[in-house]
DNA sequence: CAATAAATTTAGACAAATCTAAAAATGATT
DNA sequence: AATCATTTTTAGATTTGTCTAAATTTATTG
């Protein structure tokens, strides 16, 4: 199956909107994510249905079928491998790699994907801490523990970010926090949930909002 | 200037057809290279002229102008850098990288190109021995010496291939000849110009045709 | 140099991906 | 249940890159 760039992007959008349970997706939601008009989405849904990549009933909604889901996951796999390459090998910051990976993810060559993965040491998580599916489409499992769940006195390791918006990534980068860094949780403020911690010998306070968006593991 | 994939491929085609002297290019020649019809080419030439990337007079021919040439060279730079990456870092054979590089060359990110080049050690020549232009569009100079010009008893180093068709690359790969290998020229057959040489302690004969397509330098 | 051949362009059409505006279906509300 | 609001689809148009067939320009040649 050889899809156009646009078709691939619609599959990705459906994958992200419908979540892991594979819910039915609203046409409007797709339009919003794709930054296009609902009428355009309807056309594309009809097309993807004809190619047997999605289920779609007019007025009811759409969802990826098995083949479409696998296709979307392969794109996601490429995206996250390229992000890892950009950060680990080319020294990009994790906040600047998304747009480049959006381009690289569409390069078609199974052999390239396989070799890239092996060159990177078959990583299980990308620089944002997001899981990289394997060739068969299976995701590695991660403990979904966030910093706001930590207790006073604990030392934790940063494993990923829940929110990978440029705003949050930039904020985190500005603080100098990177994947794998260890944080010493000094105290949790009962009033607003903000957390006092030590990172690289430096003491500072992180808002509750920020802490809910940092995945950690106990050291 | 943000060009479509197709527009970029036309610029490349014009660059390759017109050669280093910047000759006027026939519409038919472009059509052949792009595997499309002359009428289609005419439309595109009009479009590229409007974007001020080429000179074009109906019925007379077309050629890249300064801006178009620079654009084409930047794509070529990316192509050859990616080929180098695929061979040097991912272990691809030099005969299998062209099609993948054709895709990667269109990825838009000056920072990526710059970092990739530096990651590769700012190479001057790609795995086929072809020159990689720098950011300003300047090409490194290479001695255009081919194996058929060598004399008996000489030891030479393989610097590149003149013909980079899959057929020739496969043939060369089958013989085990790689960039940087040294060849000991034992004798040149006066009858057909074929060359008897030693490579990795192994003696064999190479046709004149093959030898004219191997760039070398004297060891 | 006039006729013919070759190269090129013009004209008109089509598929893909998009849009706007209008129509239809669904759902929510009194 | 009838009406109104929302969501979604349909209809018709646009742009990009392509095509075929016909017309035009340039080149060749008897």
Task: Indicate the pLDDT class of residue B151, thresholds 50, 70 and 90.
Answer: confident
Spanning CA of A60 to C1' of C29, the rounded length in angstroms is 22
pLDDT of residue A33: 95
Q: Do A119 and B89 touch (CB under 8 A)?
A: yes
pLDDT of residue A195: 94
Instruction: Tell me the nt nearest to B61, Cα to C1'.
Output: C8
pLDDT of residue B155: 94
Spanning CA of A4 to C1' of C16, the rounded length in angstroms is 10
Task: Indicate the pLDDT class of residue A102, thresholds 50, 70 and 90.
Answer: very high
Of B89, B107, B116, the CB nearest to A103: B107
Closest residue of chain A to B100, computed from CA coordinates: A109
- Which residues in A lie closer than 8 A to residue B93 (C-beta atoms)? none
Q: Do B104 and A99 touch (CB under 8 A)?
A: no
d(CA B212, CA A84) in angstroms, rounded, equals: 43
Mean of the pLDDT values across residues B158-164? Answer: 86
Question: What's the whole-number average pLDDT of chain B?
Answer: 93
Of A86, A99, A119, the CB nearest to B90: A119
pLDDT of residue B104: 97
Spanning CA of A128 to C1' of C11, the rounded length in angstroms is 55
Question: What's the whole-number average pLDDT of chain A?
Answer: 93
Residue A104: strand, helix, or coil: helix
| pLDDT tens digit sequence for A162-216 | 888 888 888 998 899 988 899 999 999 888 989 999 999 999 999 999 999 999 9
pLDDT of residue A36: 95
Task: Indicate the pLDDT class of residue A21, thresholds 50, 70 and 90.
Answer: confident
The A-side interface with B (CB below 8 A) comprises: 86, 89-92, 96, 99-100, 103-104, 106-109, 111-112, 115-116, 119
Mean of the pLDDT values across residues B84-109? Answer: 95
pLDDT of residue B217: 87
Answer for B45: CB within 7 Å of strand C.
Answer: yes
The answer to whether B38 touches B28, Cβ cutoff 8 Å, is yes
Instruction: State the count of interchain CB pairs (< 8 A) between A and B.
Output: 39
Instruction: Tell me the nt nearest to B27, Cα to C1'.
Output: C8
Answer for A40: CB within 7 Å of strand C.
Answer: yes
Question: Among all chains, which residue has been given the structure tokens 């074009």?
Answer: B56
Q: What does residue B30 show for φ and ψ, rounded to 5 degrees? A: -65, -45
Task: Note the helical H segments in B89-197.
Answer: 98-104, 110-119, 166-175
d(CA A84, CA A101) in angstroms, rounded, equals: 9
- Which tokens sit at B199? 């490579």
- Which residues in A lie closer than 8 A to residue B106 (C-beta atoms)? 103
Mean of the pLDDT values across residues A123-136? Answer: 92
Q: What is the pTM of this model?
A: 0.78
Mean of the pLDDT values across residues B150-160? Answer: 90
| pLDDT tens digit sequence for B103-130 | 999 999 999 999 999 999 999 999 888 9
- Long-range interactions of A161-164: CB distance < 8 A, separation 24+: A161/A128, A161/A129, A161/A213, A161/A214, A161/A215, A162/A212, A162/A213, A162/A214, A162/A215, A163/A213, A164/A98, A164/A128, A164/A130
Whether the per-residue pLDDT at A142 is higher than 80: the answer is: no
Specify which residue's alpha carbon is closest to the C1' of nucleotide C10: B39
Please give the DSSP secondary-structure letter assigned to residue A146: B
| pLDDT tens digit sequence for B4-29 | 999 999 999 999 999 877 889 999 99
Residue A201: strand, helix, or coil: coil
The B-side interface with A (CB below 8 A) comprises: 86, 89-92, 96, 99-100, 103-104, 106-109, 111-112, 115-116, 119
Share of chain A above pLDDT 70, in %: 100
Could you tell me how many residues make up chain B? 219
Alpha carbon of B144 to those of A141, B149, B159, B162: distances in Å? 56, 10, 10, 9
Q: Do A112 and B119 touch (CB under 8 A)?
A: no
Instruction: Tell me the nt nearest to A40, Cα to C1'.
Output: C18
Give the E-state strand segments of chain A in sequence order: 54-57, 61-64, 155-161, 182-188, 195-199, 202-206, 214-218
């Amino acid at each position: 199956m050889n899809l156009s760039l646009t078709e691939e992007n619609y599959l990705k959008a459906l994958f992200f909107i419908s979540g892991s349970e594979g819910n039915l997706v609203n046409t409007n939601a797709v339009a919003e994510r794709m930054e296009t008009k609902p009428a355009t989405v309807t056309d594309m849904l009809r097309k993807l249905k004809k190619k047997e990549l999605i289920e779609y009933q007019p007025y009811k909604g759409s969802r990826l079928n098995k083949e479409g889901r696998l296709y979307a996951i392969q794109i996601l796999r490429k995206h996250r491998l390229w992000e890892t390459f950009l950060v680990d090998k080319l020294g990009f910051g994790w906040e600047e790699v998304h747009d480049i990976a959006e381009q690289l993810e569409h390069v078609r060559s199974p052999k390239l994907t396989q070799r890239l993965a092996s060159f990177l040491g078959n990583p299980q998580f990308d620089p944002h801490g997001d899981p990289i599916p394997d060739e068969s489409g299976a995701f590695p499992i991660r403990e979904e523990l966030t910093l706001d769940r930590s207790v006073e006195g604990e030392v934790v390791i940063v494993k990923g970010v829940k929110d990978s918006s440029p705003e949050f990534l930039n904020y985190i980068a500005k603080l100098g926090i990177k994947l794998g860094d260890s944080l010493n949780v000094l105290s949790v403020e009962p009033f607003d949930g903000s957390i006092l911690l030590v990172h690289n010998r430096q003491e500072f306070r992180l808002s509750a909002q920020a802490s809910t968006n940092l995945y950690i593991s106990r050291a």
